[in-house]
Chain A
Amino acid sequence: MTKADLVERVYLKTGFSKKESAQIVEMVFDLMKSTLEKGEKIKLAGFGNFVVKNKATRKGRNPQTGDEIEICSRKILTFKPSQVLKSVINAQG
């Protein structure tokens, strides 16, 4: 499933034109992206939570050469599926 399929679903459900539906879907993901960019988490009841986490600097190794390298601190995004999402995924055999 891609964004185009999601646009199609919105189009069928809402009665907006395909063009409008595409713009609206884009807008939803843009809103989510700018929220996460600010470091703010998103909690979607029944679906899951998107949380930005800080990763500290750590030492790593280049697996090919064995050289020790420093892995810089960075921010990453994590997704934790809700209990509801996990159970519907497991319900179907």
Chain B
Amino acid sequence: MTKSELIEKLSYSNNLLGKKESELVVNTLLDGIRNALVEGQRVEIRGFGSFTVRTRDAREARNPKSGEVVQIAAKKTAFFKTGKELRERVDNGNG
């Protein structure tokens, strides 16, 4: 499912929502989560999961082509931990 399919499904399942409104809702949610993460905040959505920012340490790596050692700086990444309800539903689902 892509973002546009999610938007479509949302407007389908709620008669308050046209496609425009659905798009606004989905973008507002994603922007909200993204902004919180940029500020280093944790986002917890009960039953779904939580997003946190994790730091990856600086490390040495090799350019696989030249064999040269390169320094990779520490960086941050978004980490998602699946919530209990969703974890169980995914595991028991018929996918």
Shortest C-beta distance, A87 to chain B (Å), equals 10
Contact B95–A13 (Cβ < 8 Å): no
In the bound complex, what is the Cα–Cα distance between A51 and B9 (angstroms)? 19
In the complex, number of A-B residue pairs with CB atoms less than 8 Å apart = 151
In the bound complex, what is the Cα–Cα distance between A9 and B31 (angstroms)? 10
In the bound complex, what is the Cα–Cα distance between A13 and B1 (angstroms)? 25
Segment 18-48 of B: residues with Cβ below 8 Å from A: 21, 24-26, 28-34, 36-39, 41-48
Segment 32-83 of B: residues with Cβ below 8 Å from A: 32-34, 36-39, 41-49, 53, 75-80, 82
Q: A9-B28, A89-B53 are in contact. Are A43 and B90 (CB under 8 A)?
A: no
Contact B78–A81 (Cβ < 8 Å): yes
Chain A, residue nearest B2 (CB): A43
The interface on chain B, measured as residues whose beta carbon lies within 8 A of the other chain's beta carbons, has a size of: 51
Segment 2-27 of A: residues with Cβ below 8 Å from B: 2-3, 5-6, 9-10, 13-14, 16, 20, 23-25, 27
Q: A29-B47, A39-B93 are in contact. Are A24 and B17 (CB under 8 A)?
A: yes
Shortest C-beta distance, A14 to chain B (Å), equals 6
Residues of B within 8 A of A (CB): 1-3, 6, 9-10, 13-14, 16-17, 21, 24-26, 28-34, 36-39, 41-49, 53, 75-80, 82, 85-87, 89-91, 93-95
Residues of A within 8 A of B (CB): 1-3, 5-6, 9-10, 13-14, 16, 20, 23-25, 27-29, 31-33, 35-48, 50, 52, 74-79, 81, 85-86, 88-92
